Structure 1
Amino acid sequence: MSTRIDWSPLRRELARWRREERVLPIWWRDDDAVAVTPALHQLASLSAELALSVHVAVIPKYAEPALAAFCADAPTLVPLVHGWAHQNNAQAAQKKSEFGHYRPEAPAETQQALDRLRGLFVADLLPVFVPPWNRISPDLIPHLAPQGYRALSTYTPRRAPCPAPGLLQINTHIDPIRWRGGGGLLDPERQIGDLAALLVERREGRQDNDEPLGLLSHHLVHDAAIWEFCRACLSELLTGGAVGADLRDMLGEAS
């Protein structure tokens, strides 16, 4: 795929970053893990090939013990907390979400989610809350840090580094899947153009470049084109001068 699409807008912008000696941090998050599957093996292989950690958002209610053992043997896989049951609790007219509006039982579910995954993954778990569908009620966010969470991760550039005391926000910004079109790869050249434009905004100070630029993937629904785009996009960024970020290091520095 990398030979069939035009990466030149991204390459030009990355070249300018290098000339100006700017640092672009990047990170990778992958959602919806519950079990060891062939797709998870492929995710781990790609992460190792790129030497870039992939932060795997695990659904706590359904997570299997074998997944914890697999992650323990794969040093580039970093487990995070992906909601509780990945259940849509939105009203009929609302966009899908598990925690998009405040429910009295929601704080108990986020605590239960953290406790269960700590029991499975022990020290390998990074206490980062990833709400399903990337939506979370502002009223729930202040509960997370007192429960033991260190960070929150959703989608699109963050509004502030710390949405609540003791809690960082580290979002994702690139999603290669055409969710509204029934799946498959979103138009690659559109993605490249959007990514280059986002880098211009970061370079010009209109977006927060202290937040690592994040790729969001969903290994369970990838086809060959999506896998190849993820590989090619991350490779272009890394060979263009971007620096891979591991949230284990970032949160350690913030403590």
Structure 2
Amino acid sequence: MRVDWTALRQELAVWHRDGLRLPFWWRDDDAIAPTKALKQLENLGRNMGVPVHLAIIPANVDQALVEHISDVIVPVVHGWSHQNNAPLGQKKAEFGAGRDLDLVRQELQRGLERMNGVFGARFSKMFVAPWNRLSADVLSILQDVGFTTVSTFQSRTSAQPIAGLEQVNTHIDPIFWRGARGLVEPVTLVSQTVELLEKRRRGILDAAEPLGYLTHHLVHDAEIWEFSRQFLTEICEGPVTLYRHDKKDIS
């Protein structure tokens, strides 16, 4: 696959010139059990030297997953069962508006307990909202039950904690979900990334929020894997500080 990275390289060169640092992280969603795709994800993270925050569905997690992931993987919590609870006609969400908050609290507590039972101290108390949607009513419950961080999609609007939670979102998704679930046109992905970096550099967006790359290893085709490899290579050529939730900055 040939991708024109010129615009991204030029923008990163400006960051270098101006002495700026780009915090960067990687999140991958929907893990349950060891698979060939998960091993490929892990190998890519290790080869690139980039930690993978693996969003795991607590209700369905397989104990065998613990034995098949290395230190490049940071286990985080992906909802409870990844079940769509949104009313008919509304966008999918597990923890959207209108749910019984006592039941929500029970599910969030069960999620933490399940992940603790499977991973112990290895899992990180970051809550990744299924479908990247989350009701405002749920935020305070997340903090109450023990989460420290929440993650969805799109740039955060404030660096201040929300309901006591750090917000670390994702911003670039290579999958064309509304189409055949193949790769978004690479020129579009490069353009989106450059625009985000330019807005951060100019103070329009919060430059302190780690720029997040979002993947879903279980549905990747060969083009998505290859684009991801190239993208991570290009980003890491820039003045990057890698974010890892269980250790914060690592380089």
Corresponding position of 2:156: 158
2:167 and 2:73 mapped to 1: Cα distance? 20
2:123 pairs with one of 114, 122, 125: 125
- Check the 8 A contact 1:68/1:121 in 2, yes or no: yes
Q: Tell me the secondary structure at the aligned position of residue 83 of structure 2.
A: coil
Corresponding position of 1:89: 85
Corresponding position of 2:39: 41
Corresponding position of 1:100: 96
Q: Which runs of 5+ in 2 are unaligned?
A: none
Q: Does 1:75 align with 2:64?
A: no
1:27 and 1:5 mapped to 2: Cα distance? 22
Q: Letter of the 2:76 partner, please give it.
A: L
Q: Does 1:235 align with 2:233?
A: yes
1:251 and 1:11 mapped to 2: Cα distance? 23
Alpha-carbon offset, residue 163 of structure 1 = 4.5
Corresponding position of 2:168: 170
- Check the 8 A contact 2:28/2:216 in 1, yes or no: yes
Q: Tell me the secondary structure at the aligned position of residue 195 of structure 1.
A: helix
Corresponding position of 2:12: 14
Alpha-carbon offset, residue 113 of structure 1 = 0.7
Q: Letter of the 2:75 partner, please give it.
A: P
Q: Letter of the 1:246 partner, please give it.
A: R
1:85 and 1:162 mapped to 2: Cα distance? 29
1:249 and 1:177 mapped to 2: Cα distance? 28
2:10 and 2:34 mapped to 1: Cα distance? 39
* Root-mean-square deviation (Å): 1.4
Corresponding position of 1:245: 243
Q: Which runs of 5+ in 1 are unaligned?
A: none
The count of aligned residue pairs is: 248
The Cα offsets for residues 119-169 of structure 1, whole Å up to 9 and x where unpaired, read as 100000001100100000001101111211010000000122345343100
| TM-score, structure 2 normalization | 0.96
1:107 and 1:163 mapped to 2: Cα distance? 20
- Check the 8 A contact 1:101/1:137 in 2, yes or no: yes
- Check the 8 A contact 2:139/2:163 in 1, yes or no: no
Alpha-carbon offset, residue 182 of structure 1 = 2.2
Q: Tell me the secondary structure at the aligned position of residue 180 of structure 1.
A: coil
Tell me: CA distance 1:251–1:130, structure 2 relative to 1, closer, same or farther (3 Å): farther
The Cα offsets for residues 81-104 of structure 1, whole Å up to 9 and x where unpaired, read as 000111111112111111122411
1:139 pairs with one of 137, 154, 169: 137
